[in-house]
Amino acid sequence: MKQMPAKSEIKALTGAEAAAEAMRQIQPDVVPEYPITPQTQIVEVYSQFVADGIVDSEIVRCESEHSVMSVAMGASVAGARVMTATSSQGLAFMFEPVFIAPSLRLPIVMNIVNRALSGPINIHCDHSDGMAIRDSGWIQLYSENAQEAYEHTIMAVRIAEHPDVQLPVAINQDGFITSHALVNVEIIDDKIVKDFVGVRKPAFSLLDAEKPLSVGMLDFYDYFFEHKKQTFDAMERSRRIIREVFDAFAKITGKKYDMAEKYRCDDAEHIIVAMSSACGIIKDVVDELRGQGKKVGLLRIRVFRPFPEVEVAQALRKAKAVIILERASGFGSYSPIYNETTAALYHYPQKPKMVNYVFGLGGRNFGKSDARKLFEELEKIEGEFLDEKNKLRYLGVRE
């Protein structure tokens, strides 16, 4: 059994409350907010912290999600530590400034409670909202449970604000499945968290009259490419910083954090690749099947951007068959994780057969029986001829 840190306590919290609890300990300077299901509880709980005088953050109640990210950028460029949260259509509504924030190198931290993008309108979980910003320049972490939603929120601040990164970070958790389920969460001592995140030291401030600067200027072909390259380079550097922050946080918690977590993969012949809450269910089935002598495993993607291609390739290249399981569809293509995974393995002479399964869209349930079915499919896939017609499959959909 894992030993708890010397200074911590157990609280019964939902995933949304766990994210708000991390924000309470961090105490960002500015929190622009606009409620949207199933993210509402995060800003609701944090607003109560402010109203009760527990924290002294400046809450800005905006008229839309577009305004939320616009306020976040304005506060961040002025030197403030900024945090916010959103979901689904709210994230879609803030698309314009969401893509601007990384270009301005603003270390905003945002919790995204994953919910299906319309249409048809749906308030339940899939990853279409998170995947929609995969190439925006935001670092993306995906949480398996409320504990990780709490821990990722804390680590995200230090990752985003590192001088070599200066990029926004999105912490994802599954809508309702994680965000509204009440579980025990291990909360680290306030002072330890405060010391861990430190104080933001902005590279520049719009309010510094001694060093005037222009923000959001028109950028034509003479410099636009170079400025984008700076964002590309920052994202690449973030790989090293993410690992360093994971290692530093491990000293506090006693846990090991990896960009891609291998669960019983070392000798596995059949592996499922997945993210977020489904991974807890898959782990239970892996243990069950291992007890029956089957060599199965799970590769869980914790960090989707930057994508950990080396870790993924090393974990999968000796397997016989792999299913990439994703709560998002790629219209006219495979799902995003499948494309990333096959690209990571492309140059390796030894690689497994790989099939893409889309599951759980709009919150459709995923249980142990589904995970067992997938591992049964893996045994068939190993000896199956795969062509373009049968590499993309759907789990649990009615024909």
27-54 per-position pLDDT tens digit? 999 999 999 999 999 999 999 999 999 9
For residue 71, pLDDT beyond 90: yes
* Percent of the chain residues topping a pLDDT of 70: 98
* CB-CB contact of 278 with 301 (8 Å): no
Report the CATH architecture of 260-394: 3-Layer(aba) Sandwich (3.40)
Give the residue among 87, 136, 95, 140 at the shortest CA–CA distance from 116.
87
Left (φ > 0), alpha (ψ -120 to 50) or beta: where does 232 sit? alpha
Other CB atoms within a 10 A radius of the CB of residue 393 amount to 15
pLDDT score of 4: 55
Positions of CATH 3.40.50.920 in the chain: 260-394
- pLDDT, mean of residues 5-28: 94
CA distance 263 to 333: 28
Please give the DSSP secondary-structure letter assigned to residue 314: H
Other CB atoms within a 10 A radius of the CB of residue 328 amount to 23
pLDDT score of 388: 81
Yes or no: domain 8-253 corresponds to CATH 3.40.50.970: yes
Query: Cα–Cα distances in Å, from 194 out to 22, 26, 170, 182, 188?
Result: 10, 6, 20, 25, 10
CA distance 20 to 97: 23
Residue 221 makes CB contacts below 8 A (sequence gap 6+) with: none
What does the mean pLDDT of the chain come to? 96
pLDDT score of 5: 58
Residue 71 makes CB contacts below 8 A (sequence gap 6+) with: 30, 32, 60, 62
- The string of pLDDT tens digits covering residues 99-115 is 999 999 999 999 999 99
* CB-CB contact of 242 with 139 (8 Å): yes
Which structure tokens are listed for 346? 């492309």
Rounded (5°) CA angle 200-206-210 = 100
pLDDT score of 1: 45
φ, ψ dihedrals at 298, nearest 5°: -130, 135
Give the residue among 180, 186, 314 at the shortest CA–CA distance from 252.
186
- pLDDT, mean of residues 364-376: 98
φ, ψ dihedrals at 174, nearest 5°: -75, 130
Amino acid at 127: H
Element (H, E) at 280: helix 278-290
For residue 321, pLDDT beyond 70: yes
Positions of CATH 3.40.50.970 in the chain: 8-253
For residue 398, pLDDT beyond 90: yes
- Output Rg (C-alpha) for the chain, integer angstroms: 21
* CB-CB contact of 159 with 245 (8 Å): yes
Q: Counting Cβ atoms within 10 Å, is residue 316 exposed (0-12), middle (13-18) or buried (19+)?
A: buried
For the chain, the straight-line distance linking the first and the last C-alpha, in angstroms and rounded, comes to: 45
- The string of pLDDT tens digits covering residues 235-278 is 999 999 999 999 999 999 999 999 999 999 999 999 999 999 99
Cis peptide leading into residue 74 (ω within 30°):
no
